[in-house]
C-alpha cells in the first residue's frame, strides 16, 4: 500500500507525469523490440560463433568460436575494404550534410515568395529515395540517364573542382581544408539527396525559438551574423546531436556493407560468416555513435 501511495504521489508531480507519458509512448517500440528484434539478435550472435549446415534432417549449428570473425577480418578482403570505405564516407559526408541542412533551414525559415515550393523541392529527394521509386531508379531507364549524366558531366565537374582547388591554394588555404571542400563539391548531389529529413528537423527547431529573443537582440544592435551564433545556433544545438545520430545511421543503412552481408548469407548460404560480418558492422556503428555523441553532447545547450 505504501508503494502504491508513493507511486500515486509521484505521478501527480509534473516530472512524474513526463516520465509516465514518455514510457507510455515508448512502450510500442519497446514491446516490438523485445518480441520481434531481441530474439533474432541473439540468434545472429549465436550464428556468428557457429558453422551452419543444412541437410535432409534439418539445420545443424556447430560451435566454431572466433573462426567466422577471423575469416571476415583476414580472409574476406572485400568486407574490410567496403567497411573502411563506408567509414571514410561517413567521416566526410556527415559533417557536410549537417552543416548544409542547418544552412538551408535558416534560409528556408525566411519570409520570401515561393517559400513552400522551395521547402518541397528540398524534401523531394526523401520521397524519391523511398519505396517503388528507389527500385525504379536502380533497375530502369533512370539509372541509364544518371550514368549518362555522370559520364557527360564528369569532365566539367572535374574542371570546376580543379579550378576551385587552384583558387583556394593560391589564397593560402590549408591543403587539407582545400581537399575536403573540393570533395564536398564533387559530392553535392549525394549531400542534397540525403539532407531532406535533417532540413525539416532543423526548420522545426528554428520555428520554436521565441521571436522575442530576436527582437531584443535587434534592439541591442546585434547583426544577423551575431544573432545566428548567439541565439539560433545554441537553441538548435540539441537537434544538431539528433541529426548527427540520424545521419550516421542513415549513412550506414545506405552502405554497400549491408548488400555484402546479405549476399554472403542468402546467396552463398554462409550464415555464420554473414552474422559475424553483421556484428562487426554493428560494433563499428556503435563505436562511431558513442564517440560522436560523447564529444557533441558536451557542446549542446539545453534551455531551462
Closest CA relative to residue 301, chosen from 209, 165, 179, 168 = 209
Which residue do the cell numbers 536502380 mark?
138
pTM: 0.71
Q: Which of 247, 293, 224, 255 is nearest to 100 (CA)?
A: 247
**Topology of domain 76-297, CATH:** MetI-like fold (1.10.3720)
The domain segmentation of the chain, as residue ranges, is 76-297
Q: Please list the pLDDT of the chain residue by residue as tens digits (304 residues).
A: 555 455 555 556 778 888 888 889 999 988 888 888 888 888 888 888 988 877 667 777 788 888 888 888 888 878 888 888 888 888 888 888 888 888 888 888 887 787 777 777 767 766 665 554 555 544 444 444 444 444 444 444 444 556 666 666 666 666 666 666 666 666 677 777 778 888 888 988 888 888 888 888 888 888 888 888 888 888 888 888 889 988 888 888 778 888 888 888 888 888 888 889 989 988 988 898 898 888 888 878 776 5
Decide if 242 contacts 297 (C-beta within 8 A): no
Amino acid at each position: 500500500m505504501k508503494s502504491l501511495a508513493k507511486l500515486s504521489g509521484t505521478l501527480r508531480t509534473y516530472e512524474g507525469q513526463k516520465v509516465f507519458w514518455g514510457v507510455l509512448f515508448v512502450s510500442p517500440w519497446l514491446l516490438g523490440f523485445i518480441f520481434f528484434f531481441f530474439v533474432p539478435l541473439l540468434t545472429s550472435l549465436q550464428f556468428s560463433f557457429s558453422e551452419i549446415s543444412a541437410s535432409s534432417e534439418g539445420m545443424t549449428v556447430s560451435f566454431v568460436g572466433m573462426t567466422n570473425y577471423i575469416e571476415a577480418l583476414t580472409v574476406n578482403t572485400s568486407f574490410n575494404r567496403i567497411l573502411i570505405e563506408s567509414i571514410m564516407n561517413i567521416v566526410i559526408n556527415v559533417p557536410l550534410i549537417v552543416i548544409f541542412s542547418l544552412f538551408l533551414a535558416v534560409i528556408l525559415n525566411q519570409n520570401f515568395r515561393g517559400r513552400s515550393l522551395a521547402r518541397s523541392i528540398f524534401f523531394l529527394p526523401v520521397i524519391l529515395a523511398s519505396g517503388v521509386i528507389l527500385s525504379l531508379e536502380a533497375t530502369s531507364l533512370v539509372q541509364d540517364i544518371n550514368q549518362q549524366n555522370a559520364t557527360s558531366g564528369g569532365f566539367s565537374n572535374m574542371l570546376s573542382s580543379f579550378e576551385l582547388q587552384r583558387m583556394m591554394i593560391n589564397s593560402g588555404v590549408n591543403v587539407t581544408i582545400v581537399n575536403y571542400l573540393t570533395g564536398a563539391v564533387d559530392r553535392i548531389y549525394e549531400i542534397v539527396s540525403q539532407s531532406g529529413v535533417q532540413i525539416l528537423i532543423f526548420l522545426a527547431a528554428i520555428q520554436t525559438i521565441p521571436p522575442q529573443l530576436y527582437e531584443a537582440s535587434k534592439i541591442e544592435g546585434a547583426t544577423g551574423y551575431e544573432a545566428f551564433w548567439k541565439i539560433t545556433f545554441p537553441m538548435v544545438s540539441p537537434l544538431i546531436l539528433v541529426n548527427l545520430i540520424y545521419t550516421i545511421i542513415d549513412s550506414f543503412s545506405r552502405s554497400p556493407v549491408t548488400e555484402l552481408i546479405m549476399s554472403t548469407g542468402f546467396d552463398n548460404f554462409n550464415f555464420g560468416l554473414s552474422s559475424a560480418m553483421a556484428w562487426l558492422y554493428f560494433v563499428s556503428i556503435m563505436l562511431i555513435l558513442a564517440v560522436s555523441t560523447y564529444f557533441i553532447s558536451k557542446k549542446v545547450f539545453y534551455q531551462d
